[in-house]
Every structure is written in structure tokens, then in C-alpha cells.
Structure 1
Amino acid sequence: MTRLIFRDDAYLREAPATVLAVSEAGVELDASLFYAQGGGQPGDTGSLVWDGGEMAIANTVKGEGETVLLKPAEGAATPPVGAAVTQRLDWDRRLRHMRMHTSMHLLCSLIKGAGVTGGQIGADRSRLDFDLAEPPTKEWLTEQLNALIAGNHPITTSWITGEELDANPGLVRTMSVQPPRSGGKVRLVRIGAEENPVDLQPCGGTHVAATGEIGRVAVTKLENKGKQNRRVYLVLEEG
């Protein structure tokens, strides 16, 4: 099991670790600063540095069980097993993913009652698909999203058991993918006050600490992707 440093502190940009294994599948550390691709969020990139070497990280993926594997860039050297390494995160890319991911939770809060049929977070553009006949207009969604962002609502996390989630199925918005369960527990991401949150749903991804950090966003396009499937595209306004 890899200890997930990013889960405790999504703002940490550098951290030490020890190499546990190296294989064609990737490099496994005892603790990962890097988020592993999943839930629509891309894997982090960055580098590992050790005495006498450096490895550029092209992607981070999930390994067997609850392990994280770092994929070296083509031609990059890999560290020896047992080496003490420093993990360095591509922070600018991660921060954009954090801002995008949080804004997508806000988008969910505006389209109430519609299941999420798919989604993809990108540094430049993201999308969410909803099981919905008629979505609101992109102008209305843009206005409401930016109002929520300007409210600077705090983002916090908590944990419940798998049994508690099963007893509250309405917390899960995704229709085809179940939220990750780590050791029988499920991580909840809350936007806003505990007693009356703007949004509350299971999520294993990284987020900003308050909605004001997202900056202005825009819904740029709505697409019909089937009889009951509507795709909503979202961008950060600075490009």
C-alpha cells in the first residue's frame, strides 16, 4: 500500500520517499506526492531526484491493490530499489486540475437530480456528461458558477464507512463508476458549510481549499451525446 501524501496535503510540491520496487510497470514508492490517474482526473507529472540521478515522470497510475506507480518519461533513468528520492511535482499543471475539479463539483451542484454519465478533467478544458433531457443554458451555468466561486466557500474532506455510503446512495452522482473505497472507507468532499453544503459527494481527487481560488470560469459548449445524455464543456477563463 502506498501512502497518499496528496490526500493529506494537495498543496505540497516536494516530498521525500523511498523506492520500493522498479519494473516495466513503473516505479513504486512508499509514499506518493503524485495523484494516480482515475475518476476523470489525469495522473500527475513531475520528477524524482536522487543522489546521482533524476527521472522525469510522464504519468502516474494505479498499480495492484492500493499502490501507485510512476511512469518514467521515454529514455529516462530509473532509481535503484531502496534509494532515497525527492519527489518534485509539476505544480502548475496540478493546480489547474485542482481548480477544474472543484469547479466540476460546483457544476454538479447546479444540475440537481441528474446522474453523471462521464467526465474528463483537463488543464485547458474539462467536460461533464449528464443524464438529462434539457440542460440549463451555458450563459446561466456560467453566471451561477462564477457566483458560487465568488462566494469563496471552503472545501473540506471527511470519511465515512462503506456501509454509511450504501445507506445514503444519493451521495453518489456518477452512474457507471463507484467512488473509491480505501480500507473500507470512503472520502467525502464538501463545498461550503457542514450543515448546508453547496455540494457533498464522494471523491478521491485533489481540490483547492476554497472556491475563490478557482478564478472565473466559462461554460463554452453544450452537446447532445444521445437521447438522454448532455455534455457540458468548461474552461478556466484565463485560457
Structure 2
Amino acid sequence: MTDPLFREDPYLRETTGYVEAHTPEGGIILDASIFYPTGGGQPGDSGNLIWDTGTLAIATAVKADGDKIALVPAEPAALPPVGAKVIQQLDWERRHRHMRVHTALHLLSVVIPLPVTGGSISAEKGRLDFDMPEAPEDKELLQSQLNELISQDYTVAEDWITDAELDANPGLVKTMSVRPPSGAGRVRLVRIGQGDDQIDLQPCGGTHVARTSEIGSIRIGKIEKKGRQNRRVNIFLND
């Protein structure tokens, strides 16, 4: 498998790695990756690879067979050879905005404590779909509550539980459409707040900021009707 360095340290912007293989589609598999692969509604990271004889722009990263991560070139070009040592450089501005939006969506699920039926993240905005027959009456109140949680500067950390512990605590899973990855023996939880100040705990494999204040202020956009039971709530970073 590819060692997912982004999970150990989501703030790591540059590191070295070694090319283990090329995929049939022209992707590059490294022994360890700071590039987050597309998944859970969060886009794959972009950036650059640099080696002795070349530089390659990376458009995204995707999951490959055997728990590996394939880096996808932005355009056809010569690939670093298998065995080569490369420098990985992340498009940090884009990744950090994904982290801010992703963490804000966790807080949105606190402000709207209803089952989540879908979601997506980009560098400018994010959205969650809720099992919510009627739209909220006061969008401005929701926005105020969300920004108040952000301003409280809660810590964001991770815990791990076993598959069996997750099965015994189904209430941890907020998403109706996506089952948290299991089968590896343990599941990653993202915790916002600590002890008596904990406000959220749910399975998630994405990248997040270390403290909620890092998100900055959020604007709630349109609340759209998506079917009889679903409402889509859009949020936007203000900077």
C-alpha cells in the first residue's frame, strides 16, 4: 500500500518519495504520498513532482488497487522512472481550502442534526444534502450558529476505533449514502472539541484543519430542494 502521509500530517506540504510503479492509465504510484486521493466528497490533491531530469504537474490523485494512490499528470509527459527519488510538492493553497471547507461541513452537521444523504467539497464551497423534508425557516440563524461554532476555536483531532466498536455505535455514522470504510480492523474518527466541550465525533477519512478558527467565516448560500425528502445546503468560504 501507499503510506498516506496526509493522514499523519495534513499540514505537510513537501517531502520526498520513491516511484514504485506506473499504472496502465499513466499514473504514478509512490511508496508514500502527501497527495490526498479523491474520496468522501473531497477532491484529490494537485501539485508537482520533481526529480533529477524532470518536473511533472499533478492534476489529481486517485485510489488504485491494493490501497495504493495513483498521481494523475495534468497532461501527457515523460514520467519519473520506477525507482526514482522524487520531491512531492503540494498545491497547498488548494489543499488548505479543502481542509477548511471539509471541517466547516462537519460543523454544519452539528448545526443541522439530521441524517446526511450526500456531500461534496471544493476550494471555494461545499455542500451537504440532508434528509430534511422542509427547508429551515431562518437561514441567517443557521449561518450565525455555524460561524459561532467556528469562532469558538475548538480543537480538531482524530481517534481510532475497531470495526466492532463502530458496529456497536451506529449513531456515529451521520451519512446515509456512504458507509465508512471498514474491514481493515479499525476506523478513523474525527473529533471536534475535547471532553465536556466535544461537539462532534464521526467517521471520516478526509483532511481537516487543526482548530475551527482556521476555517474563517462562512456564508450559507442557497438551500435547494433535491427530491421529496432532501434539502441541499451550500456553504462558501468568505476569503
State the TM bucket, normalised to the shorter chain: over 0.9
> 2 CA distance for matches of 1:31 and 1:182?
22
1:40 matches 2:27: no
Residue identity matched to 2:168: A
> 2 CA distance for matches of 1:106 and 1:65?
33
Residue 23 of structure 1 corresponds to 23
CA contact (8 A) 2:163 2:183 kept: no
> 2 CA distance for matches of 1:226 and 1:180?
27
> 2 CA distance for matches of 1:49 and 1:190?
35
Residue identity matched to 2:17: A
Residue identity matched to 2:208: H
Q: CA deviation at 1:195?
A: 4.1
Q: CA deviation at 1:217?
A: 0.3
Deviations, residues 115-161 of structure 1 (Å, cap 9, x unaligned): 11111101112111000122433211110011001100000001001
Q: CA deviation at 1:66?
A: 0.8
Residue 123 of structure 1 corresponds to 123
Residue 193 of structure 1 corresponds to 194
CA contact (8 A) 2:49 2:88 kept: yes
Q: CA deviation at 1:184?
A: 1.8
> 2 CA distance for matches of 1:79 and 1:115?
45
> 2 CA distance for matches of 1:134 and 1:216?
26
1:221 matches 2:222: yes
Deviations, residues 173-232 of structure 1 (Å, cap 9, x unaligned): 110211123722100000011344111100000000000000000101101111110000
Residue identity matched to 2:204: C
Residue identity matched to 1:158: D
Deviates more, 1:158-167 or 1:129-138: 129-138
CA contact (8 A) 2:18 2:84 kept: yes
CA contact (8 A) 1:179 1:186 kept: yes
Residue identity matched to 1:224: K
CA contact (8 A) 2:23 2:70 kept: no
1:141 matches 2:122: no
Residue 154 of structure 1 corresponds to 155
Counterpart secondary structure, 1:106: helix
Counterpart secondary structure, 1:43: coil
Gaps of 5+ in 1: none
Residue 212 of structure 2 corresponds to 211
> 1 CA distance for matches of 2:115 and 2:28?
36
CA contact (8 A) 2:157 2:190 kept: yes
Across the aligned residues of Structure 1 and Structure 2, the Cα RMSD in angstroms comes to: 1.1
Gaps of 5+ in 2: none
Q: Name segments (4+ residues, structure 1) moved above 4 Å.
A: none
Counterpart secondary structure, 1:144: helix
Deviations, residues 49-108 of structure 1 (Å, cap 9, x unaligned): 111111110110000121100001112321000001110000000000000000000000
- Same amino acid, percent of matched pairs: 57
CA contact (8 A) 1:35 1:44 kept: yes
CA contact (8 A) 1:138 1:221 kept: no
Residue 57 of structure 1 corresponds to 58
